[in-house]
């Protein structure tokens, strides 16, 4: 019976160009796939692919061994794209009659569920500008305040705050405290985004509302006057585009605010056309809302008129902001996992696909991101959302691994329990929640340390861990996402408290060392395409450290991340090529090649990045 003696020798396949030649297949086409198997597994008698066709699974013809390099046998075979999405896995049989299944979660001696198969589809890919991008999230009220902000009359609900005041994190006034950030202020600091290496500006909602977060919109047809109105948005986008930046908005298709013109019309008159836009009961005196929050009434997507006004066609809300004079480059859809779902109703996928179709009708070069707080892989497969803001595959594992146990974690975002995880468990979590996305989606999912809905990572992590975590953001498959303020080392104990005004004029203490870290990592990612498109293969994990490699046809990037000291980091020399000539790109560490082993002794909170030759050399 064969035994894998080292993680680095595990057979491997993923959806990257190293293993899948055609990244944009069409229905009816044959698609060539490669898989690599190390000689230490044993003598291989045959390698097969099990693929799907219209819900049925079958074995494709036997794969052919095409070459051997550095102890690895490379096999190639074909599947046929019978459907818009095909799932597959590999069957490996040895001469001693032992056999294995290979799927994104690893190597298995017994059969595995279809949901964990590799997946590839024929759906249109994300725009080229999104591939390799770095996304920067701005909460408009807290980013920057222009001189015009002081002249604006505040609404009755607002509690005015000075830029240096402490942010109320919970209790009365939390959503009403207004610091006066506006879109002109964002425009005036776009050079900061460029300095960091960001290429996408993502704005949380800019619509009029009764709160500072503006997810309780009162209209979808105007920009909040407190932010500068419509002209401020068009000016911001125009300036951003001139600097090579894309701009994305934030839209809530799950609910509106209770002051929204549609809701008010329905609430006042049960016979109004808008009454079918919401879930009213008891003569419109009661209604369903997001998590029972009455200021956020839930949309009823049974309504054809709601679809027409909001998401369907060139005159819809979705379309309006993608056209001149605004010309947004895409949308992030808030609580996408909950949209259209309540009791027996489930319009979730219909709403998502309609939004995407409308976006394509206006501009096919736009980008659609969905927010999914938990596992998104089975809901998002590329026919609607092209990316997810999801916490399960990156954010939560990163927090749990680099967490300072003296800090109380947020249960609603990071899950229950007061237990950290090992580097090995980090790998397992990431494989489980990221591996079953189609590769094109996995490349575009957001890698966020924190967001406007969580506390700041720095507040809950081991002191100094932010540098290691940022390194993971920029070296894992996916789009690194920086929440404005992370680069200043700002703190925040929950989502509300983390929405801290940026200290442009030293209004509060900050640590600017992360600015250079982010800009350096962004420059590395821009220069080395293996960090964008390359395969990801794990070489070593322990309680304190993780080692993985991103591989492309032109180069390989080796990454070591350590939480604590690990003097036993060691993996086989033949698990990669060119270690003797490794070029350190970040961290100044030195790899030791001793006999048939590669060794490295980590210090606490260590991040090292090396460039090596291609896996094909």
* Range with the poorest average pLDDT among 39-48, 366-375, 507-516: 507-516
Look at residue 612 and give its three-state secondary structure: strand
Find the helix packing angle between 513-527 and 466-475, rounded to 10°.
20
Helix extents (H) in 461-582: 466-475, 513-527, 530-533
User: Is residue 373 over pLDDT 50?
Assistant: yes
The secondary element (H helix, E strand) that includes residue 177 is strand 177-178
Contact 117, 88 (CB under 8 A): yes
Question: pLDDT per residue over 94-130, tens digit each?
Answer: 999 999 999 999 999 999 999 999 999 999 999 999 9
Question: pLDDT per residue over 529-543, tens digit each?
Answer: 999 999 999 999 999
Q: What is the mean pLDDT of the chain?
A: 95
Closest by CA position to 413, among listed 298, 293, 493 = 493
In DSSP notation, 484-547 reads TTGGGT---SSTTTT-PPP-TT-SS---THHHHHHHHHHHHHHH-THHHH-EEEEEEE-SSEEE
pLDDT of res. 254 = 98
CA 433 to chain CA mean position, Å: 12
Q: What is the CATH number of domain 534-612?
A: 2.60.40.1180
* Separation CA 112–CA 425 (nearest Å): 20
Question: pLDDT per residue over 267-289, tens digit each?
Answer: 999 999 999 999 998 878 899 99
Residues 6+ apart with CB under 8 A from 244: 194, 199
Residues 6+ apart with CB under 8 A from 506: none
User: Is residue 223 over pLDDT 90?
Assistant: yes
CA-based angle 211:213:219, to the nearest 5? 70
Closest by CA position to 531, among listed 523, 539, 543 = 523
pTM confidence score: 0.96
Cα four-point dihedral sign 184, 188, 189, 193: positive
Contact 142, 500 (CB under 8 A): yes
CA distances from 85 to 53, 443, 508 (A): 9, 17, 51
Locus of tokens 């009434």: 297
Domain ranges of the chain: 7-121, 135-254+299-527, 534-612
The secondary element (H helix, E strand) that includes residue 247 is strand 246-251
pLDDT of res. 285 = 81
* Separation CA 90–CA 418 (nearest Å): 38
The secondary element (H helix, E strand) that includes residue 102 is strand 99-103
* Separation CA 394–CA 379 (nearest Å): 18
pLDDT of res. 1 = 44
Look at residue 136 and give its three-state secondary structure: strand
CATH class for the domain made up of 135-254+299-527: alpha beta
CA distances from 481 to 224, 323, 478, 540 (A): 25, 26, 9, 26
User: Is residue 139 over pLDDT 90?
Assistant: yes
CA-based angle 531:535:541, to the nearest 5? 90
Cα four-point dihedral sign 52, 57, 59, 65: positive
Reported confidence tier of residue 437, pLDDT bands at 50, 70, 90: very high
Average pLDDT, stretch 379-389?
Answer: 93
User: Is residue 544 over pLDDT 80?
Assistant: yes
Of the two residues 78 and 3, the one the predictor is more confident about is 78
* Separation CA 12–CA 583 (nearest Å): 25
Residues 6+ apart with CB under 8 A from 183: 140, 203, 206, 223, 227, 228, 232, 233, 235, 236
Reported confidence tier of residue 4, pLDDT bands at 50, 70, 90: low
pLDDT of res. 298 = 98
Contact 169, 496 (CB under 8 A): yes
* Separation CA 499–CA 517 (nearest Å): 22
Is it true that 135-254+299-527 and 534-612 share their CATH fold? Answer: no
Would you give the end-to-end CA distance of the chain in angstroms?
31
User: Is residue 496 over pLDDT 90?
Assistant: yes
Find the helix packing angle between 395-402 and 466-475, rounded to 10°.
150
Token pair of 86 as six digits:
């095909």
Reported confidence tier of residue 412, pLDDT bands at 50, 70, 90: low
**DSSP helix, strand, coil percent of the chain (3-state; round to 5):** 25, 25, 45
CA 549 to chain CA mean position, Å: 20
Provide the 10 A C-beta neighbour count for residue 395: 25
* Separation CA 289–CA 296 (nearest Å): 5
Token pair of 193 as six digits:
């985004």
* Separation CA 314–CA 311 (nearest Å): 9
Task: Say whether domain 7-121 belongs to CATH 3.30.450.20.
Answer: no
User: Is residue 566 over pLDDT 90?
Assistant: no
* Separation CA 540–CA 548 (nearest Å): 7
């Amino acid at each position: 019976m064969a035994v894998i003696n080292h993680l680095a020798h595990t057979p491997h396949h993923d959806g990257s160009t190293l293993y899948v030649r055609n990244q944009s297949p069409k229905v009816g086409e044959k698609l060539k796939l490669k898989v690599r198997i190390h000689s230490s597994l044993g003598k291989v008698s045959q390698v097969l692919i099990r693929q799907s066709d219209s819900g049925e699974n079958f074995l494709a013809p036997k794969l052919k061994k095409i070459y051997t390099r550095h102890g690895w046998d490379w096999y190639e075979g074909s599947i046929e794209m019978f459907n818009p999405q095909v799932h597959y896995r590999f069957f490996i049989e040895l001469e001693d009659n032992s056999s294995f299944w290979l799927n994104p979660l690893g190597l298995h001696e017994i059969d595995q569920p279809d949901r964990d198969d590799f997946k590839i589809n024929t759906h249109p890919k994300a725009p080229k500008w999104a591939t390799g991008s770095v996304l920067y999230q701005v909460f408009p009220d807290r980013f920057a305040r222009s001189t015009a902000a002081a002249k604006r009359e505040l609404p009755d609900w607002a509690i005015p705050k000075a830029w240096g005041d402490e942010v109320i994190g919970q209790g009365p006034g939390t959503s009403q405290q207004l610091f006066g950030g506006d879109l002109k202020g964002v425009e005036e600091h776009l050079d900061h985004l460029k300095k960091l290496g960001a290429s996408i500006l993502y704005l949380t909602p800019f619509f009029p509302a009764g709160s500072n977060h503006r997810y309780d919109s009162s209209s979808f047809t105007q920009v909040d006057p407190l932010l500068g109105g419509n002209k401020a948005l068009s000016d911001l986008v125009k300036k951003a585009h001139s600097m090579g930046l894309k701009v994305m908005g934030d839209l809530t298709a799950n609910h509106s605010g209770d002051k929204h013109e549609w809701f008010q019309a329905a609430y006042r008159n049960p016979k109004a056309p808008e009454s079918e836009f919401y879930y009213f009961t008891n003569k419109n005196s009661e209604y369903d809302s997001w998590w029972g929050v009455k200021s956020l009434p839930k949309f009823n997507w049974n309504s054809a008129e709601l679809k027409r006004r909001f998401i369907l066609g060139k005159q819809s809300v979705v379309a309006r902001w993608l056209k001149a004079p605004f010309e947004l480059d895409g949308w992030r859809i808030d609580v996408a996992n909950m949209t259209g779902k309540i009791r027996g109703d489930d319009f979730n996928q219909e709403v998502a696909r309609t939004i995407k179709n409308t976006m394509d009708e206006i501009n096919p070069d736009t980008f659609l991101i969905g927010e999914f707080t938990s596992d998104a892989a089975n809901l998002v497969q590329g026919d609607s959302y092209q990316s997810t803001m999801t916490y399960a595959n990156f954010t939560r594992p990163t927090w749990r691994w680099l967490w300072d146990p003296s800090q109380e974690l947020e249960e609603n975002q990071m899950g229950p329990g007061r237990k950290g995880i090992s580097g090995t468990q980090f790998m397992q979590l990431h494989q489980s929640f990221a591996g079953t996305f189609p590769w094109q989606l996995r490349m575009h999912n957001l890698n966020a340390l924190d967001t406007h809905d969580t506390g700041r990572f720095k507040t809950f992590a081991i002191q100094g861990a932010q540098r290691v975590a940022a390194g993971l953001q920029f070296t894992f498959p996916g789009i690194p996402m920086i929440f404005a303020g992370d680069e200043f080392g700002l703190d925040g104990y929950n989502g509300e408290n983390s929405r801290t005004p940026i200290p442009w004029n030293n209004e509060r203490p900050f640590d600017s060392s992360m600015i250079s870290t982010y800009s350096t990592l962004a420059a590395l990612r821009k220069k080395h395409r293996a960090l964008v498109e390359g395969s990801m293969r794990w070489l070593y994990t322990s309680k304190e450290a993780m080692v993985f490699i991103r591989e492309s046809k032109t180069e390989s990037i080796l990454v070591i991340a350590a939480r604590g000291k690990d003097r036993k980091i060691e993996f086989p020399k033949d698990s990669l090529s060119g270690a003797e000539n490794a070029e350190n790109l970040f961290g100044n560490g030195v790899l030791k090649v001793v006999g048939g082993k590669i060794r490295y002794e980590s210090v606490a909170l260590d991040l090292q990045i090396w460039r090596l030759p291609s896996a094909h050399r």
